[in-house]
Amino acid sequence: MSPIPPSDLKKIAIVGNYLPRRCGIATFTTDLSNALVQEIGIKGEVFALAMDDIPQGYRYPNRVRFQLRANVQPDYRVAADFIASNQANAVILQHEYGIYGGPAGAHVLRLLRELRIPVLTTLHTVLTKPSPEQRRVMDELWRTSDKLVVMSHKAEELLQEIYDVPPEKIAYIPHGIPDVPFVDPNYYKDQFKAEGRQVILTFGLLSPNKGIENMIEAMPEIVKQHPDTLYIVLGATHPHLKQQYGEAYRTSLQRRVVDLGLEENVRFRNRFVETDELCEYIGAADLYVTPYLFEQQITSGTLAYAVGAGKSVVSTPYWHAQEMLAEDRGLLVPFRDPRALAEALLYLFDNEVERHQMRKRAYTYCRDMVWKQVARDYLLLAQTAMEERSRKPRSLAPHRKRVGRIEELPELDLRHLETITDDTGMLQHAIYTTPDRNHGYCVDDNSRALVVCALYSQLYQSNDLDHLALIYLSFLSYAFNEKTGRFRNFMDYSRKWLDSVGSEDSHGRALWGLGMTAAHANSENLRSMSVKMFQQAVKATEKFSYPRAWAYSLLGIHAYLEHYGGDASVRRLRHLLAEKIFDLFKHNSGDDWPWCEPIMTYSNATLPHALLLAGTWIPHGEMRDTGLRCLEWVCNIQKTDRGHYSFIGNQGWYPRGGEKARFDQQPIEAAQLCCACAEAYRATDDERWLAESRRSLEWFLGRNDLDSPLYDFSSGGCCDGLTPDGPNFNQGAESTLAWLISLLTFQTQVARQTLQVKDHEQQVDKIIVPGEREPQTASDQTKV
């Protein structure tokens, strides 16, 4: 058996007919969803979208969360929105032309075009001579599906030979079957008043293509030699056939039974039975027969159930029967040949040893077809599709345009910042735009929120965000443990700390927020509190071990020293931490890998940013040049031929000598690169760096791999990441703060650029007032 699928596949949507609608696909969809629920476990979810063929629909179980009217095309678009809103990881779609509306069921294409998550399409029919409409539907169906699932190897051949489907698009997963024991048929016969009789069974929805009349014609010869034989025809008339023709076909069969004098040997059970009762009927059968009329049947659920239960089967040679009954797992007879049917059935009645050996071969062959294993196969295939999407995301739908350079940036919008802030601090997560109180707060986000407030004060020279800055600063104050000199990080919604000491990274980010507030807050009270806390917390960095903790600390130290440049102890720490990062680069980088670690992970641009800052302001020329050179490499390896950034994804990162993961791309990567490039522009006056900073910012606005904006103009928030299927629509703190920090940083540099132009124009006429100092150079700054 296949292993249990990975746990990151959490939510699956199934589209198709569903019980209590009466048809084979409804039974299949229901059985598959039940099996998936068992395999995905309590931490996952499976929900269904059911196709309705009648105006009033059906009384579905709770798992059916959405009903589509087959002939109402707008329902398909809304269904796609529903799937996206419920954040499914994958869709399993059941396909048969007749269950969807439009020419050749074309309405389903509207649904597929709108989906941005992996789609597995299970084909219940593959036609050898499709009409032009059917061909067009199938052609788009396989192109918009990640995988086509077929239940016979013949279907694989047809898809490649007739429809030119690439082999890698096709996956064989057999029709699922109940896991029933191998039992003696006599065990169940008394339930159906068939004790002591030889029982032949056919089941399924009744329709003329089933060929039941040929089996009835074969019965006189069988009864002549085995008078106690009972042939049970189990199943209701197909609803669509009944709607159009009533019970004409069934009535014709019953009349023929009377004409042949077989009233005691043929029974009709005109009802749709549930799986448990069906298994008992199958269990009571000595022989199973499918006398279907046409070869082009690519799959038969009834045949799969019978063979899987260990029945001896006689069948006409339609495609699925040829595969299922190969290697002496059953007998095949010509189409429309009652005599051949009788001879084959009599042979098995008269050769008990051969019959039981056939049963055993059939039962053994089908053990990998039980629903438990089939569900695992679907989950593994969905996982594979997700991984393939990560490497090669779906291209844009034809009606969408690619996003080029964005000429006009949006205005600053702080609504979502306010939405996810309460009187305790900033909440970590949101479900869409609604704050999620289940995950509480953290120092990481409240620190970044302080950076936003400080950037706002610096750019606009305004106290408008002081009320928020006070909340974030208060949170950091409460998080700081004076005994250990460290910040806690995570707090639940009831204001209980979940850790005694936070990560080094979170401590570094706290220093960044405090340093920025100390440097740029307009309020003396905010600056004083920030300075006090910064001086208490910065001492712990001397013993830190992690490069990104050093880097974030250096961002805060630099901001603090811009205002308090004479603090000798903090300047000493700047030297110490910067040398640690510089040593990492000297010892680990090479011509082919100018990076300080064997793998690039998260917040990568922060490291060259810190090196550039320290090298510029210590000053240390080699350190500064290393920071610039490494930053250029970080830009180049993430820049695509189309001119946008494709950031290193968190599903595998980027190991030295390995492949760069494309997804999931995180807003923090865009933000830190935007800030680093802005600092490079500040240090060099090279406008190329300002262009790279803007390129990072435009990633949020849709200039990315999927041409999908992450910034939400309607809320002012930012989506939590870019997945292979599009944005993660939750708008949590980290992503929203990443957007705001990027926008404010870029706007600050543009303002500085404007001032530099004005300064240059006025340089000749500039008069130095007695007592006023010239602007300091980097080396001057160190002499304060």
Alpha helices by DSSP H, 685-732: 687-700
- Above 70 in pLDDT, residue 319? yes
Strand partners, 441: 427, 491
Residue found under tokens 């998936």: 36
CB atoms within 10 A of CB 37: 17
Please state the rounded mean pLDDT for residues 65-72: 92
Question: Which H helix or E strand runs over 522?
Answer: none
**Rounded to an integer, what distance in angstroms lies between the CA atom of residue 491 and that of residue 132?**
62
**Rounded to an integer, what distance in angstroms lies between the CA atom of residue 92 and that of residue 731?**
27
Could you tell me the pLDDT band of residue 88, with boundaries at 50, 70 and 90? very high
Q: Would you say 750 and 447 are in contact if contact means Cβ atoms under 8 Å apart?
A: no
**Residue 709 identity (one-letter amino acid):** P
Query: For position 399, what pLDDT does the model report?
Result: 46
- Above 50 in pLDDT, residue 253? yes
Q: Would you say 296 and 208 are in contact if contact means Cβ atoms under 8 Å apart?
A: no
Tokens, residue 254: 């019953």
Give tens-digit pLDDT for 441-459. Answer: 999 999 999 999 999 999 8
Q: In sequence order, which residues have a C-beta less than 8 Å from that of residue 560 and are 6 or more positions away?
A: 514, 515, 518, 519, 531, 534, 538, 567, 570
- How many residues are given for the chain? 784
Q: What is the SS3 assignment for 727-781?
A: EECCCCHHHHHHHHHHHHHHHHHHHHHHHHHHHHHHHHHCCCCCCCCCCCCHHHH
Terminal-to-terminal C-alpha distance of the chain:
72
- Above 70 in pLDDT, residue 171? yes
Q: Would you say 724 and 386 are in contact if contact means Cβ atoms under 8 Å apart?
A: yes
Query: What does pLDDT average to over the chain?
Result: 91
Greater pLDDT, 391 or 409: 409
Among 497, 508, 490, smallest CA distance to 451 is for 508
φ and ψ at residue 286, rounded to 5 degrees: -85, -40
Please state the rounded mean pLDDT for residues 197-206: 93
**Rounded to an integer, what distance in angstroms lies between the CA atom of residue 678 and that of residue 742?**
10
- Above 80 in pLDDT, residue 395? no
- Above 50 in pLDDT, residue 410? yes
Q: Taking each helix axis from N to C terminus, what angle separates 443-460 and 466-479, rounded to the nearest 10 degrees?
A: 150
Please state the rounded mean pLDDT for residues 91-101: 95
- Above 80 in pLDDT, residue 698? yes
Could you tell me the pLDDT band of residue 273, with boundaries at 50, 70 and 90? confident
Residue found under tokens 């023929």: 256
Residue found under tokens 């796609």: 80
**Rounded to an integer, what distance in angstroms lies between the CA atom of residue 210 and that of residue 290?**
7
- Above 80 in pLDDT, residue 758? no
Tokens, residue 673: 């690169």
Please state the rounded mean pLDDT for residues 63-87: 91
Q: Would you say 189 and 286 are in contact if contact means Cβ atoms under 8 Å apart?
A: no
**Rounded to an integer, what distance in angstroms lies between the CA atom of residue 90 and that of residue 70?**
22
Q: Return the beta strands (E) in 127-181 as ranges.
A: 147-150, 170-172
Strand partners, 233: 202, 268
Query: For position 589, what pLDDT does the model report?
Result: 87
Could you tell me the pLDDT band of residue 409, with boundaries at 50, 70 and 90? confident
Please state the rounded mean pLDDT for residues 473-489: 97
Tokens, residue 553: 């600390």
Please state the rounded mean pLDDT for residues 12-39: 95
Distance from chain centroid for Cα 370? 26
Q: Would you say 719 and 731 are in contact if contact means Cβ atoms under 8 Å apart?
A: yes
- Above 90 in pLDDT, residue 10? no
Query: What DSSP string runs through 604-618?
Result: TTHHHHHHHHHHHHT
Among 112, 89, 83, 73, smallest CA distance to 10 is for 89
Could you tell me the pLDDT band of residue 782, with boundaries at 50, 70 and 90? very low
Query: For position 135, what pLDDT does the model report?
Result: 94
Query: For position 762, what pLDDT does the model report?
Result: 45
- SS3 for 15? strand
Q: Would you say 512 and 552 are in contact if contact means Cβ atoms under 8 Å apart?
A: yes
Label residue 57 left, alpha or beta by phi (over 0 means left) and psi (-120 to 50 means alpha).
left
Residue found under tokens 């989506």: 719
**Rounded to an integer, what distance in angstroms lies between the CA atom of residue 506 and that of residue 479?**
11
Could you tell me the pLDDT band of residue 546, with boundaries at 50, 70 and 90? very high
Q: What dihedral angle (degrees, nearest 10) is formed by the CA atoms of 697, 701, 704, 706?
A: 160
**Rounded to an integer, what distance in angstroms lies between the CA atom of residue 187 and that of residue 216?**
26
Question: Which H helix or E strand runs over 720?
Answer: none
**Residue 24 identity (one-letter amino acid):** G
Kindly report the pTM of this predicted structure: 0.68
Please state the rounded mean pLDDT for residues 373-386: 95
Query: For position 245, what pLDDT does the model report?
Result: 85
- Above 50 in pLDDT, residue 630? yes
CB atoms within 10 A of CB 434: 12
Query: For position 773, what pLDDT does the model report?
Result: 29
